Each structure stands twice: as C-alpha cells, then as structure tokens.
Amino acid sequence: MKHWYKILGSILLLYVAIFSLLHPLKPSLVQVDVSALHAGYNRIAFTGYYTHFNESKTEAGITLGNHFFTGDIQVEDNNHLAVTFDLPDSLPSTAVVFRVHNEQDGELALVQAMGMGDIVIDTTTDTTNFGTYARMEAKSAFGFPDLPIIYETIRNLNWHVPMWFTMFFLMIVSFVNSLKLLRVRNSENHLEDMLKFDIRSTLLNEVGLVFCILGLITGSLWARYTWGDWWTKDPQLNGALVVFLVYAGYFVLRASVEDADKRARISAVFNLFAFVLMFVLLMIMPRFASGLHPGKGGNPAFSQYDLDSSLRTVFYPAVAGWICLGYWMYNVRLRAKLLKEELKSMEN
C-alpha cells in the first residue's frame, strides 16, 4: 500500500506528542532549606523533583565521607520531607553531602554550600562514634535526564531536532533529483525528463525550506528561555541561517530565468552546490568550533542527551514520524502541481 508512511507518520507523531510530555524527568534532589548546620539539633527539609517520597521507603540524612548522620524522618508528600538529627561539636571536614535514598528513585544526592555554624572543623576529630553509611546501589529510574539550565525543556529535543533531520532528508532527496536531472542525455524526451526532476527537486526544496524555518524559530525560542538570548554567535546557528539564505537564493535564482530548460539546468547546478555547502556547514564545521549549541568536537547534534535510553524511546520515533510527515507534505504538493500541469495541457 503506497500510503504506509502517512499512517505510520501520524501514529508515531501522536505517540511522540503524548509521551514527550508525559514521561517524567529523572528524580532529583533540588534543595534543602537551611544554609548552615549547627552542633546538636538540626531539622532540615528536603525538596525533591519527580520524587516519590511518599510512595516507598525513604531514608535521608547527611553524609560526610563514610559517615552518615540521620534521625527522625517525616515525609510530607512525594516531594517534601524533613529530617531531624543531631550533629556533634566537631567534624573532620566541611564536605557534607545531603542524601536521600528511596526504593523507587534510587539514591539522590545534593551538594549545597553550607555554613558550619558553631561546629568546629578539626581534622583530628574522633569519628569512631559516628554512624557509617552503607552505599546503596545506584538505581537508574526511568525518566529524561534532568540537566542544569535545560531542566524540563529537554522535552523540546523531540520537536526541535527532528525539524533539522527532516530538512536534511528532504534536501538529500532533492540532491539526488538534481543529479538525475543533470545526467539526462539528449534524447527524445529530454525536456520532459528534465522537467520531471526539476519539479521534484524544487518542491522538495520548498518543503525543506519550511522545515528549516521551523527549526530556526523553535531553536530561537528554546534559546531564549535557556541561554537567555534569541540568537547567539554560534557556528551551528550561523550555519543554519546561511543554509536558509542559500536555499532562499535558490528560489530567487529560479525566478530570474525565463527559459524552462535553462532554468532547470541552472537550478540543478545551484542545488548541488547548495547541498554540499549545507553539508559542510552543518555537519563538518561544527565539529571543529566551540559554542553554546550542543554537539561540538564530536557528533554535530548530540552530546550526553542521546545516550540516555529513555530519551531515545521518544526521539527516534519523532525523527521517523516527522520525516514521514514531511515527505507526505511534499507528496501532496507534488501531486497537486502535476495535476495543474495536466489541466493546463488539457486546456490547450
């Protein structure tokens, strides 16, 4: 059935729409409510994010090296708990780590700058009476990575990045069509064959340009709320802008040539040139440069994001889905255009 990709694309994208938003982030400990510790009585409230304090057995406290200080735990709800415990008069160092261990979330840790109040820091402190901490096995709960600066917007990965993949895919097909066009030898159907490929590569470029614009806009929006600026001086951003301008120039070039034969050939040549330029600018150059956008010095799109398997379950379907949808858009436009041509030739 020749409509397979349309149904597949629709299903995949609906799945992505739901689950890119429904999946939780990995649980994490985000803050504690005190800024200084005291000798003796301490009561600290922990705040978690996407945690399940209320749902399974939870332990919490402070660790210092191998030592563990804990006491009464009061769980208020899934994200809040309070621990009451005693600290001795002197401690060997200030390297305290706040920890929560939960059966569902695994082990969560937080390092926050702490004043030491009236505790004396003495490296020779007698630590024999301190409780020891048995490290639990690290558990990786299911969820998108919770990364600084980005936090929840990591879900955007499933929307912004597929735009570029789709554009790339459409441009590749357009490139192939241009190649085919230039290899048409003089024959009887010379002009018709050329025009066939010409229409296809033009429409592919058109839809590809739409995705390029969408990618730029979504990227800019994402940047504004994570990096603080609508645009930065980054090789990938600048490269993407150049790619947009070059493909826009493709259409300007087409508009300035009257003769269909010449136009087909010239735009095919320009298309080849534009594609190579795009490949260089987006896939090769960023590997050597530095900037804010992820993917320098290695793979031009991913860094630590895609290694996380939970993201992959939504990201790969998103790319596949958008490619299907992009191709569907092109296909409908192609058929409509061919129909117009047919009608025109029938009227004559």
Partner 1 sequence: MDYFQHFGKMPVVIGVVTLILAGIIVYLSRLDIKVSRLQKQIKEIQNKKNHE
Partner 2 sequence: MHKEFQLDMRKKQVLFGILLFVLSSVYVCYLSLERIDSAKTLSALFWLVGLFGAFHAMTKSFSQEEQGSHFLLYTLASPRSIWLAKGIYYSLLLVFLNLLSSALFTLFFGAEIWEKAGGWLFAFIIFGSFGLGTALTFLSAMAFKANGSSGLNTVLGFPILMPFMQSLSMGTQEVLNGGDWGSVGLYLIILLGLTLLSAVLALFLVPFFWKG
Distance, CA of 257 to CA of 245 (rounded, Å): 19
257 binds, among partner 1, partner 2, none (CB under 5 to 8 A by kind): partner 2
Q: Which does 296 bind (CB under 5 to 8 A by kind): partner 1, partner 2, none?
A: none
Of 8, 17, 210, 246, the one binding partner 1 (CB under 8 A) is 17
Dihedrals phi, psi of 76, to nearest 5 degrees: -85, -50
> Strands, E, within the chain: which ranges?
28-32, 40-49, 58-64, 67-69, 72-77, 80-87, 90-91, 96-102, 106-110, 120-121
Distances 328 to 270, 271, 334 between C-alpha atoms, Å: 25, 22, 10
List the one residue from 256, 304, 309, 345 that touches partner 2 (CB under 8 A). Answer: 256
280 binds partner 2 (CB under 8 A): yes
72-77 sheet: strands from edge to edge: 28-32, 40-49, 80-87, 72-77
* Residue 46 tokens, joined: 């922990």
- Residue 173 touches partner 2, criterion: CB under 8 A: no
For partner 2, the closer of residues 109 and 245 by Cβ is 245
The CA-based angle 73-74-77, given to 5 degrees, is: 130
Using the contact rule CB under 8 A, the part of the chain among 43-51, 102-110, 136-144, 179-187 near partner 1 is: 43-51
Report d(CA 244, CA 255) in Å as an integer. Answer: 17
Among 272, 292, 334, 338, binds partner 2 (CB under 8 A): 272
Q: Which of 42, 58, 63, 78 binds partner 1 (CB under 8 A)?
A: 78
CB 322 → partner 1: shortest distance, Å?
A: 11
The footprint of partner 1 on this chain (CB under 8 A) covers a number of residues equal to 28
Q: What three-state secondary structure class fits 91?
A: strand
265 binds, among partner 1, partner 2, none (CB under 5 to 8 A by kind): partner 2
What is the closest distance, in whole angstroms, from the C-beta atom of residue 320 to partner 1 in the complex? 15
Distances (CA, A) of 12 to 155, 237, 293: 16, 28, 27
Q: Which does 245 bind (CB under 5 to 8 A by kind): partner 1, partner 2, none?
A: partner 2
Which residues of this chain interact with partner 2, rule CB under 8 A? Answer: 182, 238-239, 241-242, 244-246, 248-249, 252-253, 256-258, 261-263, 265-266, 268-270, 272-273, 276-277, 280-281, 285, 288
